[in-house]
Amino acid sequence: MNIERIKEILQGYKKGSINMEKALNKLRFLPFEELDFATVDKHRPLRAGISEVIYCPGKTLEQIRKISRSLASDAENILATRAREEVYHAIKKEGLPCEYYPEARIVVINPKRIPLVGKITVISAGTTDIPVAEEAFVTAQTLGNRVEKMYDVGVAGIHRLLDKQEKFFDANVIIAIAGMEGALPSVVAGLVDIPVIAVPTSVGYGASFRGLTALLAMLNSCASGVSVVNIDNGFGAAYQANLINKKVVASSLRKTGK
């Protein structure tokens, strides 16, 4: 559970802004809202610290609008992923504050600027990998992480990567994104002593099999410390990186007594 959110509820009860029954409902039950087509998890911010994420493909605009409205009543910085521009306009018509990041294909609903902590570095092998890299970048930053990005530094010109080593040595976790043969995460992991999250992309010629070659290469990496998410899953990599980065920051604060 999100300890800070629990503290807010208890402080609200102490100040009288919410009554005991409402506070108990938030703490004891797992609230959700049943729509005709979805059961919206309203308890996730308290339980996991992050609102339920709306995966847009396969949903109608009306479904996305209703889910957005439901979530926005209780949460901020809600992510709608793989969103087309028409999704952004549909959410905006609901009167909900939102920001659209077209390259990342993400709409952030009820956006709220929060302090950015720690450091995640997002590295892409090529320019064609940038949409997946931007999905990771926007997700990680929205969740409250300081993020640095390095694009088009793949192993075909490895001097470009080596020239920027100091930019990722001080990160708490690295997201390495590559298509083709998927070699970048192995190279990066061989240079650092921190976790590397590998993201295979569907970039490449015929025998890349839409990212399967890169996926298998990353799963078989000879470098220790590499974990792998699914093909083109920049969001999943950023979510995992957020968990790692926040734990590192929390541990550091405990050690320093802050």
User: Under a CB-based contact definition with an 8 Å cutoff, are residues 151 and 104 in contact?
Assistant: no
pLDDT tens across 126-173, in order? 999 999 999 999 999 999 999 999 999 999 999 999 988 888 889 999
Q: For residues 198 and 221, what is the distance between their CA atoms, to the nearest angstrom? A: 10
Is there a single domain that holds both residue 225 and residue 151?
A: yes
Picking from 77, 109, 141, the residue at the C-terminal end of a domain is 109
Is there a single domain that holds both residue 50 and residue 142?
A: no
Checking if the pLDDT of 237 tops 60, the result is: yes
Is there a single domain that holds both residue 92 and residue 138?
A: no
Is there a single domain that holds both residue 233 and residue 146?
A: yes
| Residue 70 belongs to some domain of the structure | yes
pLDDT tens across 111-120, in order? 999 999 999 9
| Residue 102 belongs to some domain of the structure | yes
**pLDDT at residue 3 in the model:** 58
Q: What's the number of domains the chain is made of? A: 2
Picking from 109, 139, 157, the residue at the C-terminal end of a domain is 109
Picking from 55, 84, 109, the residue at the C-terminal end of a domain is 109
| Residue 23 belongs to some domain of the structure | no
Domain that includes residue 191, residue range: 117-249
Residue 99 main-chain phi, psi, to 5 deg = -130, 140
Is there a single domain that holds both residue 124 and residue 193?
A: yes
CATH number at residue 157: 3.40.50.1970
Of 114, 235, 103, 127, nearest to 178 by C-alpha is 127
Is there a single domain that holds both residue 132 and residue 229?
A: yes
Give residues with Cβ within 8 angstroms of 130, minimum separation 6.
103, 124, 151
Is there a single domain that holds both residue 41 and residue 155?
A: no
Is there a single domain that holds both residue 133 and residue 204?
A: yes
Is there a single domain that holds both residue 142 and residue 241?
A: yes
Is there a single domain that holds both residue 95 and residue 155?
A: no
Q: What is this structure's pTM?
A: 0.86
Is there a single domain that holds both residue 123 and residue 232?
A: yes
Give residues with Cβ within 8 angstroms of 145, minimum separation 6.
116, 117, 118, 119, 120, 241, 242, 245, 246
pLDDT band at residue 47 under the 50/70/90 scheme:
confident
Query: b/e for 97-122, b at 16 or more Cβ within 10 A?
Result: ebebbeebbbbbbbeeeeeebbbbbb
pLDDT band at residue 5 under the 50/70/90 scheme:
low
Is there a single domain that holds both residue 208 and residue 126?
A: yes
CA distances from 192 to 127, 157, 180 (A): 23, 19, 23
